Amino acid sequence: MGASWGTGLARWRQGALGLLGVLGVGALGRAQEALQEAFSGAPAALELRRRLTLLPGEELPRLFRLAVEGRLVLAPNGEVLPLDEVGLDAVRAALAVRPRRELVTFLDGLSRAPLELRERLEAHRLFSVAGGGEHLRLLLRLSLVPGDGLPPQELRASFVGALAAVLKRDELALEQIPSLFAESPPGLVGSVIEAVAEVTGPHATQVLARLLGRVPGLDGLLLGRLAQRADSADLCDEFVLDGLRRYLRHADPVLVVAACRALAVLGDDGAVEELIVLLERGDERVRAASGAALTTLSGLSFGLDVERWSSWFQDEQRWWNERAETELARVEGARGAEYVRAARAVLEHRLHRDRIAEAFVQALGRRAADEVWLACRALGELRSRVSLAALVECLEHEDPAVREAAWRALQAITGEALPAESASWARFAS
């Protein structure tokens, strides 16, 4: 990569960096002295960090170079002082606490000059603490390398890290992703997807779904990442699910398989009918994937038997249309033995488990501890994520049997083996 840029560019770069931070030769000398002064007397890590933080703004380019090169050239004899890990950490920490506007301006100037790989990596590091949603194009400029091929792996990894850091900090930045995706060179679009995939929550899931179909070559990667977003299962909107269901009718079996997995993970009951149709497709992988998705969605093991799946689906639909409303009302309103009977009846059905789970969530607020306990058990069987917040609340219930049942239900739904204290499950409560 570096070879194609020419050796003369190094001098050009030095000059550009110098221009960014230095107003004149005299100032350069003073700045160099100030930086050197910070390292004098072998200060402890905290003291070094304090001194570097107190350096004036014009020291920023030199601090950056220091972080890039990991060594300080001492004036006037040119002696080289290599930085150890502690020193380097202090430099990076001092850079990170500079005013954000100052850092962004500096990075903007930097992005207009030819850069070496290690400079880009350090710039990414700085961007991850200073950048915001409005600066994503700046990140892109800091990552552009000549040619259409893949940028170096370290660069892609640091790009993903920097972009993900910004997206986690500023959720509104997710709105910028589609345009960033469109402007990114082919070698970086995959990294944009990876960065969004690192952000949890339904908004990021929706953004990933919006990217589907934009670049056909990337749909496989997007579907794969959507299949790993179980955390968004209960919050996925129809837009996301519709986008995924389209791929069940795709000609490429690889994409159909990936869509089956994603829909199963996201718990899309609405895809069941199409998944049953896929059981009759010629491609063995598609049949296996649709069978596995149906098993995940229903909790039943009918293998690849189309007739059994169809019959089950019709029964479920009939129940939903004719009796579900009455029976769910009984779960929500009945008491004692009638409640138990109603619970048993609705638990035979899994197709609309989110709605069924909502009925049991209502029952969690009752006074009778045994009825709450039964609701917790039912929710554990249903494994619907809509009940997570209510179950976390039940970890504080006065009855130990209810607390135990709520804890087991949470484990069953999330697959996490956390302690039975509500604080441990706080992230599922929101």
Partner 1 sequence: MQLAQRSRSGAGQRGSALVLSLVAVGTVVVLAASFTQFASAVGNRQTHSVHKKRAFYLAEAGLAESFAAFSCGRSGVVGSEEAPARLGDGLFWVEATELIPGIVRLESTGMVGTGRAVLALVAQRGAVDVASLGVFSNGPLALGAGSRVDAYDSSLGSYELQLDKSGASLASNESITVSGTILMPSTIDGDVTPGPEATVTTSGNVTVTGSQARSFESLVLPEVELPELPLESAKDHASPYPLVLPPGKVSYAGLTVRAGAQAIVQGPAVVVLGSLLLESTAELVFDTSGGSIELYVTDSLVASARSLLTTAGADPSKVKIQVPGETAAPVQLRAQGAFHGIVYAPHTEVVLGASLNFHGALVADELTLNGAAKLHFDKHLLELAGEEQLPIVLSWRLEELGTLQGGLAADPFDALGLDPASLPRPAAALQDQTLDIHYYDAADVYHRYTGVESSFDWTVVKTVIEATRDGVDVLFPTAGTLTRVIRKAPGVLPIIDGPMI
Residues that bind partner 1 (CB under 8 A): 147-150, 153, 185-187, 189-190, 215, 217-218, 220-221, 223-224, 227-228, 254, 257-258, 261, 284-285, 288-289
The number of angstroms, rounded, from the C-alpha of 398 to the middle of its chain's C-alpha atoms is 36
- Which C-beta is closer to partner 1: that of 4 or that of 153? 153
Q: How far from 364 is each of 388, 390, 398, CA to CA, in Å? A: 12, 7, 13
Q: Are 68 and 122 within 8 A, CB to CB?
A: yes
- Which C-beta is closer to partner 1: that of 284 or that of 338? 284
Q: Are 371 and 343 within 8 A, CB to CB?
A: no
- Which C-beta is closer to partner 1: that of 67 or that of 188? 188
Nearest approach, Cβ of residue 35 and partner 1 (Å): 30
Q: Are 352 and 323 within 8 A, CB to CB?
A: no
Task: Say which amino acid occupies 394.
Answer: C
Nearest approach, Cβ of residue 37 and partner 1 (Å): 34
Per-residue 3-state assignment (H helix, E strand, C coil) for 18-71? HHHHCCCHHHHHHHHHHHHHHHCCCCCHHHHHHHHHCCCHHHHHHHHHHHHHCE
Nearest approach, Cβ of residue 150 and partner 1 (Å): 5
What CA–CA distance (Å, rounded) separates 190 from 217? Answer: 10
Show contacts of 405-411: CB within 8 Å, 24+ apart: 405/373, 405/376, 405/377, 405/380, 406/376, 408/376, 408/380, 409/376, 409/377, 409/379, 409/380
Sign of the torsion formed by the C-alpha atoms of 265, 267, 270 and 275? positive
Nearest approach, Cβ of residue 337 and partner 1 (Å): 30
Nearest approach, Cβ of residue 284 and partner 1 (Å): 6
What CA–CA distance (Å, rounded) separates 331 from 335? Answer: 8
- Which C-beta is closer to partner 1: that of 252 or that of 338? 252
Nearest approach, Cβ of residue 418 and partner 1 (Å): 20
- Which C-beta is closer to partner 1: that of 26 or that of 217? 217
What CA–CA distance (Å, rounded) separates 119 from 5? Answer: 14
Nearest approach, Cβ of residue 66 and partner 1 (Å): 24
C-alpha closest to that of 12 among 114, 153, 160 = 114
- Which C-beta is closer to partner 1: that of 95 or that of 218? 218
Is residue 80 exposed (0-12), middle (13-18) or buried (19+ Cβ within 10 Å)?
exposed
- Which C-beta is closer to partner 1: that of 34 or that of 215? 215
Nearest approach, Cβ of residue 288 and partner 1 (Å): 7
- Which C-beta is closer to partner 1: that of 21 or that of 291? 291
